[in-house]
Structure 1
Amino acid sequence: MTVTSRLGDTARTVLTPAAWLRLAIGWGAVLALALAGPLLEPPVPGPLLVGTLAVIVGVILLCAFGVVGEAEHLARRLGDPYGSLVLTLSIVVIEVVLISAVMLGPGDHATIARDSVMAVSMIILCAVVGLSLLVGGMRHGDLEHNRTGTSSYLAVLVVLVALAFALPAAIGTDGSYTGGQAVVVVALTVVLYAFFLWRQTGAQADDFREVDPRVRQDSADGDVGASLGETFAAHRTEILLRAGLLVVTVLPIVLLSHDMAALLDDGLGRLGAPAALSGLLIACIVFLPESITSVRAALAGEVQRVSNLCHGALVSTVGLTIPAVLVIGALTGQQVVLAESPANLLLLGVALVLSVATFAGRRVTAVHGAVHLTVFAVYVLALFA
């Protein structure tokens, strides 16, 4: 078989008719929403509002399952933590770029980073982790995770979250860091995140792999014993095609979720719901592919992959978003308010302490999942207070 025919066979395997259809529907919806902009300016007639939101959610779900499929193929081929990182960084980087674009646009967006990252933090630490542990524990019983890797995630998260939300209230001005303080915080955050990523993908990669030999064997379709470089060299075309397809399928999800923000604000405003609920729903939609992947991993007994997806996503979100918005604020003269309210700080602190307690033992259970979900329910309740 010639090289050209092998490349063609690989491309046909990855770029299936279903994949092309998802791309056409996803990007078609993005284009349609852009063209219909004037018709969807608030106040939007009720039937049109509900219909548009239903279509957007349907398209997002369609694209999300495509993303999940590609992410799982990459995870099997590359192994963890590399497979999970592809999905995590794809979503987080796009999200950070869009938040940065909003800050560079007209209007006052002093709290956009704080509100977005806070919502993501509670969704990941409580809702997604909780649901994953609940369904995984109900199916498999106690699940053994890699304590060294999980504790590394949580140690980094405790510091990054404190820098992002707690410290500005204590040493900043009106909830914002001063210029000099922002420089130090940006430097510390970037260095810590970069060092963590370097160690995670290098010398400490084994700390982020499954410890149960049966799960570890079942979750690896790649060449047993091969290094990342050897695997990439042997399957370069497939890996690049799947990674590219994942990114271009993720992008419509993120774009559509941000485009529907105004529609959600309009609809929830008519219902008298709190404004923060819209941000929570948008964050849920943006991280939908990662949430689905995490639950599927838990159902397969891959609890360390749940940690890699969830905790890894939050480390990347905080580690990339906070420096980006602080730099933009310094360059444009905008105020960047990061300090959270006492109630949100309390709930975020509870979520972090609970996470440390949950993953301190060798095994996690369905009970841990139920407790995490309870904290998320309290967070939603607090939104209406």
Structure 2
Amino acid sequence: MAAKISSYLSHWTAYVPVVAVAALILTWGRDLPPPVVVLSALLLAGAVLAAVHHAEVVAHRVGEPFGSLVLAVAVTIIEVALIVTLMISGGEKSQSLARDTVFAAVMITCNGIVGLSLLVGALRRRFAVFNPEGTGGALAAVATIAALSLVLPSFTTSRPGPQFSPAQLGFAAVASLALYLLFVMVQTRRHRDYFLPITTAGKVIDTEEHVDPPPARTALVSVGLLLVALVAVVGLAKGVSPAVESGVASAGLPQSVVGVVIALLVLLPETIAAVRAAARDRIQTSLNLALGSAMASIGLTIPVIAVAMIWLPGPLLLGLGGTQMVLLALTVVVGTLTVVPGRANVLQAGIHLSLLAVFFFLAASP
């Protein structure tokens, strides 16, 4: 056992998070020259990939569908920390950062990760097969939370602009969190079988095949290294964010692109894990990761931001614009039509990926 753990710790995923944290300590609170920014970005990418590995180790230990929740919660921690950190230092231009990041996360997960997973599954086995009952419930929860937190603020009248009053924000935060926790209970306990992987042949997989779960001690080591990697990701992202913001401004792009960059960064682990699962004919696991992340991104982020607004100055702009509402509505409709049959081919994958491309284009050129 000791030999196995020693070998495990010699893997690059063990020392990269430690090196990244060391770099974070050395660069914290300093103006970084371009070479250091590039090095920090590389370490940031390495810490993200290490987080993927350790989250997958823990996920394999606890099994599905609990495993899908591990990455979702880890990603949400990164997202919330980045948003709050940038809102503290960003001033007026960061008032819509939470909205831009959460909406980008919804579009990337529901169109990008879903589309990639379906494409990989359909190309390898002609059809991507999944459970429509579990996936449909997850999509319904995402649509409800998104509408409550991102659409309604544009139509309420208690406050000018696309924002909630304090009472409305508190209600939306509690309702979103309650709905997310209800979904987690259904996914992990009451209807766990709805979220288990189904092979193309229709076989339900309750445990991973061919590979034994890692020992408990190995999983605990991965939990610790996952936490170290998350700290490194959040800290290094804060360090390189001024360069990202200045780059966005220099390119003449809208400030909302910063939210898209944050969402792309924090969702990289989910994307890699989902594509890997799809390649192993575990499309349900991929969809659990995608929709679970979208739900956690709203259901956990908005309540934390609502609490943080007690100390943060300025208003919190949550309501989407007309173009964004159209994209969200189209995503929900297309997602529903994809989910209902319980199987999808390259056409559905292409439609979702096309919607993601439209989102990226309109984010850069509104």
TM over 0.5: yes
> Where in structure 2 are the equivalents of 1:277-356 lying within 5 Å?
277-330=257-310, 334-356=314-336
Q: Deviations over 1:283-329 (max 9, x none)?
A: 21122111111111111221011111111011111001112222332
* Structure 2 CA distance for aligned equivalents of residues 278 and 31 of structure 1: 24
- Please say if residues 76 and 221 of structure 1, whose CA atoms lie closer than 8 Å, have aligned partners that are also in contact: no
The residue number in structure 2 matching 1:276 is: 256
Q: Deviations over 1:68-126 (max 9, x none)?
A: 32233333332211112112111212322343344456734421211110111111112
AA at the equivalent of 1:245: L
**Relative to structure 1, is the Cα distance of residues 255 and 198 closer, same or farther in structure 2, using a 3 angstrom cutoff?**
same
- CA deviation string 1:193-243 (max 9, x = no partner): 1221122221222211112265727834677xxxxxxx9xx9432322222
Alpha-carbon distance in 1 for matches of 2:194, 2:45: 33
CA contact (8 A) 2:97 2:259 kept: no
CA distance in 2, matches of 1:264, 1:106: 13
Distance 1:198 1:272 in 2: 45
Q: How does 1:106-145 map to 2 (within 5 A)?
A: 107-108=91-92, 109-145=94-130
SS in 1 for 2:190: coil
Matching residue of 1:150: 135
Q: 2:169 — aligned with what?
A: 182
Indicate whether 1:208 and 2:232 are aligned: no
1:261 paired to 2:241: yes
How many angstroms apart in 1 are the aligned matches of 2:114 and 2:232? 25
Distance, in Å, in 2 between the alignment partners of 1:63 and 1:106 is: 25
Flag structure 1 segments of 5+ consecutive residues without an equivalent: 1-5, 41-47, 224-230
Equivalent in the alignment of 1:60: 44
RMSD, aligned CA: 2.5
Task: Find the aligned partners of 1:10 and 1:175 in 2 and give their Cα distance.
Answer: 55
Can you list the C-alpha shifts for 1:311-369, whole angstroms capped at 9, x where unaligned? 10111110011122223324657421111111111112211221111111121222211
Structure with the greater alpha carbon radius of gyration = 1
Instruction: Please tell me whether the aligned partners of residues 111 and 352 of structure 2 are also in contact (alpha carbons under 8 angstroms).
Output: yes
Moved more, 135-144 or 12-21: 12-21
C-alpha spacing 1:304/1:275, structure 2 compared with 1 (3 Å): same
> Contact 1:175/1:339 (CA < 8 Å) preserved in 2?
yes
Shift of residue 187, structure 1, vs aligned partner? 2.3
1:145 offset after TM fit, Å?
A: 0.4
Same amino acid, percent of matched pairs: 28
Q: 1:216 to 1:144 in 2, by over 3 A?
A: same
Partner AA of 1:302 in structure 2: R
Tell me by how many angstroms 1:378 deviates: 0.9
Conserved 8 A contact 1:171-1:177: yes
Query: Deviation string for 1:247-270 (max 9, x for gaps)?
Result: 322332233233322101212322
Change (3 A) 1:93 1:215: same
Given the alignment of the two structures, is residue 159 of structure 1 paired with residue 144 of structure 2, yes or no?
Answer: yes
- Aligned equivalents of 1:201, 1:216: Cα separation in 2: 15
Q: d(CA) in 1 for partners of 2:207 and 2:171?
A: 45
- Structure 2 counterpart of 1:193, from 169, 180, 183: 180
- The CA distance in 2 between the partners of 1:277 and 1:102, in whole Å, is 14
Report the 3-state secondary structure (helix = DSSP H, G, I; strand = E; otherwise coil) of the residue aligned with 1:272.
Answer: coil
Distance 1:350 1:294 in 2: 23
In structure 2, the CA distance between the partners of 1:218 and 1:236, relative to structure 1 (3 Å rule), is closer
Query: Residue 216 of structure 1 aligns to a residue in which SS?
Result: coil
Count of aligned pairs: 360
Alignment of 1:353-372 (within 5 A): 353-372=333-352
113-122 or 100-109: bigger deviation: 100-109
Q: The residue matched to 1:107 in structure 2 has which SS?
A: helix
| Greater mean deviation of Cα atoms: 306-315 or 165-174 | 165-174
* Gapped regions of structure 2 (runs ≥ 5): none
What secondary structure, in the 3-state scheme, does the structure 2 residue paired with 1:260 have? Answer: helix
In 2: Cα distance, 1:23 partner to 1:278 partner = 24
| Closer, same or farther: CA 107–289 of 1 in aligned 2, 3 Å | same
Q: Which residue of 2 aligns with 1:91?
A: 75
Find the counterpart in structure 2 of residue 228 from structure 1.
none
Pairing 1:72–2:61 present: no
For 1:241, the equivalent position in structure 2 comes to 221
Which stretch has the larger CA shift, 212-221 or 110-119?
212-221
